[in-house]
Amino acid sequence: MDKIDIVLAVNGQPYDVRVEYRRTLADTLRDECGLTGTHLGCEHGVCGACTVLVDGQPVRSCLMFAVQAQGKKIETVEGLAHEGKMHPLQEAFIQQHALQCGFCTPGFLMLARGILEQNPSLSDDEIVEALSSNLCRCTGYRNIIAAVKQARDAMLEANTK
């Protein structure tokens, strides 16, 4: 199987990897980059567990080839905390008990980060609608929604100081 050398920019770091053309971004992040925070559930675009940001857009990394991500800015859950300080979304997920087994959590965190960066003042209804694209097998949706609303409010408040 033919392979290609590519460089992926993940969380501000360059990763030199050698992959098959058909290798997904999700598998490459986990296996070649060692960033196993990105989870794989369905592997066909349904569950959202594999959500990462590509140039700021939430993307299902099981549906994207690694070669397509060259030259783009990739962000994974490992890059969410900054200088030892948790992101407001991470703090809110803890405070609202928004995870049970935690399998879906990285995908929800990255989805929430992407939508709040695109629109920091999303309404409650818009948050519910956006989060409906991801699945939680533990069905903890109420707490996940509450956490994202809390993070939205905290981030809005921080931006007005």
Q: How far is the CB of 51 from ligand FES (least distance, A)?
A: 7
Give min distance, CB of 43 to ligand FES, in A.
Answer: 5
Question: Residue 10 or residue 98: which is nearer to ligand FES going by CB?
Answer: 98
Residues of this chain that interact with ligand FES (CB under 6 A) are: 40-43, 45-50, 60, 62, 99-104, 136-138, 140
CB of 130 to ligand FES, least distance (A): 15
In whole angstroms, the minimum distance from the beta carbon of 48 to ligand FES comes to: 5
Q: Report angle CA 106, 109, 113 to the nearest 5 degrees.
A: 140
What 3 state SS string does the chain have? CCEEEEEEEECCEEEEEEEECCCEHHHHHHHHCCCCCCCCCCCCCCCCCCEEEECCEEEECCCCEHHHHCCCEEECHHHCCECCECCHHHHHHHHCCCCCCCCCHHHHHHHHHHHHHHCCCCCHHHHHHHHCCCCCCCCCHHHHHHHHHHHHHHHHHHHHC
Q: Which is nearer to ligand FES, 129 or 157 (CB)?
A: 129
Closer Cβ to ligand FES, 11 or 133, answer by number: 133
Smallest distance from the beta carbon of 156 to ligand FES, in angstroms?
Answer: 26
Which C-beta is closer to ligand FES: that of 7 or that of 94?
A: 94
Nearer to ligand FES, 37 or 41 (CB): 41
